[in-house]
Amino acid sequence: MIEYIIGGLIIALMRVCDVTIGTFRTILVVQGRRMLAGMAGFFEVLIWIFAIRYVFQHLDNYANMVGYATGFALGNVLGITLEQKVGLGYVQINIISKFHTDEIANILRLNRYGVTILPGEGGTGGVAIMICVVPRKQQRQVIRTIEEIDHRAFITVQSALPYRGFVHGSRK
């Protein structure tokens, strides 16, 4: 009986590892980091093969199947959590503030973030749109800075893949 439970736990651990690696690999693929994505994919699949091999060798053990599913679920949670902590890549933060545009832009620039201000037209008239591309790991810090100045600012965040020009991480 104890070997059934241990087998399920080993499979769960293997799945946590391979799914966590898979989460990072997906992000690396999106960011165009071919070599790192290839290496991550190698280890992801190697671990998966060992896990699935063990499951198929012991199909009568339901603990293995539960371990497989549990490991998959926990691997997704852990992979996303770790990736958010590591903060791979860049984000584009778009900010619209009715009354504090210059103040927000000046503070962000003092903190060595690049800010571009564009004119826009909203439902109530003219607005200024601030665009700031920052490393993902600094996203929360930038948003906190904006909210300290204007807690009602409209903020959107989207993934960014810098193609050419100045890379903002070198400013800090």
DSSP string, 34-49: HHHHHHHHHHHHHHHH
pLDDT single digits (tens) 97-121: 989 999 999 999 999 999 999 999 9
pLDDT single digits (tens) 134-144: 998 899 999 99
Q: What Cα–Cα distance (Å) separates residue 172 from each residue in 41, 83, 89, 108, 109?
A: 32, 22, 15, 12, 11
Cα(24)–Cα(58) distance, integer angstroms: 30
Three-class secondary structure of residue 123 per DSSP: coil
Q: Contact at 8 Å (CB) between 104 and 113?
A: no
The residues that bridge with 119 in the sheet, in sequence order, are: 128
Return the DSSP state at 98: S
Cα(95)–Cα(152) distance, integer angstroms: 10
**Section 77-84 average pLDDT:** 89
Is 153's pLDDT higher than 90? yes
Percentage above 70 pLDDT, the chain: 96
Phi/psi of residue 152, each to 5°?
Answer: -105, 5
**Band of residue 59 on the pLDDT scale cut at 50, 70, 90:** confident
How many other CB atoms sit within 10 Å of the CB of residue 68? 18
